[in-house]
Structure 1
Amino acid sequence: MTTGMARTTIRLAAAGTVAGTVLATALAGGAALAETSERGETGSTSAGIPRNFLLHEPQARRPVRYPGEEEWAISDRLGANLEVNPCDLRRPADRDRVAARTVVYRAPEHHSGEQLVIYRSTAAARRALAGLLGQVERCARVKSEGTVTKTWADPVHIGDRAVRITVQGYDARGVRPVIGGQRAVVVREGRAVAIYLLAGEYGKVRGSDFTRPLKDARKMAAKVCSLRGVC
């Protein structure tokens, strides 16, 4: 049986728009993540990141209400791509990771991601964030099959450095918003980078789109300093 998530992914991908692909990729991209997920019953943890340390991790370990329509996945895979991936890289460009955990939630027309990556040094974490912002610049405007996907970053005052990243689809002229986009906040604190992402059928960009990612990023920027040697 095709689940609601799969139906949505197929419908958006078939639409042939960059914006649709952005959302469809986010919704479907959990397949590889699910293969490496560690569910609540395993009890394993990534080196340096305690069990249930991520904000949404405890909820991710509980059974979902509608198993055919929604899904959580948890992965400690060091080689996982950053949840924000403006240039659709096949593999991460950052280096010197020592620990990572990614928690994702997928449901029809919705994807949310929480990711914490700890690097070998503060300099490595700085380079990772700089590399991500370089992607934002390189792929700020991408045209495909009659649509334009725009990506941009705005600074926010969280941690040592933070940005909110907007991905939004527009018509062929790059003027009228079309369905599909992402809203994310990325924060660096010490040698850790945390990402909070929402992807859905966004249209017009609103400041309120970032309410939850901003709140979560502030919490993690404070919490991550409880890990030894991170800050």
Structure 2
Amino acid sequence: MMKILSVTAATVAALASPAFAAAPVPKGFLLYEKDAAKKDANPETSWAVSAKVTAKLVVNPCDRAALGRAGRTAAKTITYTAVPDYSKSEQIILFTGDEAAARAFADLKAAVRKCSKPDYRYATRAVALGDEGQAITGQSYQGGKPAIGGERAIVVRRANALVVYTQAGEWGKPAAADFARQTKDATRMLAKICTVAAC
């Protein structure tokens, strides 16, 4: 009887370990994977898909490779680019637990506060998505006024997962409508993220 109990305890420990939780994000899980898989004959547009756990956060005010990397178990990133300067990204990152994901989320908010410059500023506001969510604005400025160029991102934490949707391009003065597509995409992903996250 004691032997059976010890085996059961070991099994439970193995299931709870980060190594066991390190399954990749399933193929076809991201919203834009089907689009990314289509043949694109346009030389001015391209898709890139990566399952690298160490992928850089697609919204990264300080441009630090290590931002939000600690405690990751899996990730998948899709980026679409178009000439001259438009891009959009989708990124799902899974962590060892809620605490590690929350720390990555907090570190990103800290980077927003720390890494603004006079000619390119970041701002963030809370959004009612997931366990915690932020709308992050990156915006070019010239002479103190919004110039052409910027990025808009929705970043959401749900349990041990981060869900990120961004767009970058020739934005003008920041507006709430800039986040419409990213918010819609994040909402769709949140409806199924718990099939891979430990919700």
TM-score (norm 2): 0.85
Aligned partner of 1:142 in structure 2 is: 117
Deviations 1:51-110 (A, max 9, x none): 1100111111111241x1110010011111100000121443430100000000010121
Question: Who is 2:187 aligned against?
Answer: 218
- In structure 2, the partner of 1:170 is 141
The aligned length equals 177
Identity %: 39
**Aligned letter for 1:161?**
E
Superposed structure 1 runs of 4+ greater than 4 Å apart: none
Q: What does residue 35 of structure 1 align with?
A: none
> What letter corresponds to residue 62 of structure 1 in structure 2?
K
Q: Distance in 1 between matches of 2:113 and 2:69?
A: 16
CA shift for structure 1 position 152: 0.7
Contact 1:94 1:127 in 2 (8 A): no
Q: Distance in 2 between matches of 1:171 and 1:105?
A: 27
2:135 counterpart of 1:160: no
SS of corresponding position for 2:106 = helix
- CA 188–54 in structure 1, closer or farther in 2 if over 3 Å, else same: same
Structure-1 residue corresponding to 2:166 = 197
Separation in structure 1 between the aligned mates of residue 130 and residue 120 of structure 2, nearest angstrom: 29
What is the one-letter code of the residue matched to 1:56? Y
Deviation readout 1:206-226 (Å, 9 max, x if unpaired): 211100000011111121112
**2 CA distance for matches of 1:90 and 1:128?**
13
Distance 1:51 1:93 in 2: 23
Number of the residue aligned with 1:180: 149
Q: Kindly provide the amino acid, as one letter, of the partner of residue 59 in structure 2.
A: V
Query: Paired residue for 1:118?
Result: 94
Aligned residue in 1 for 2:122 = 151
Specify the alignment match of 1:40 in structure 2.
Answer: none
Gaps of 5+ in 1: 1-45
Across the aligned residues of Structure 1 and Structure 2, the Cα RMSD in angstroms comes to: 1.4
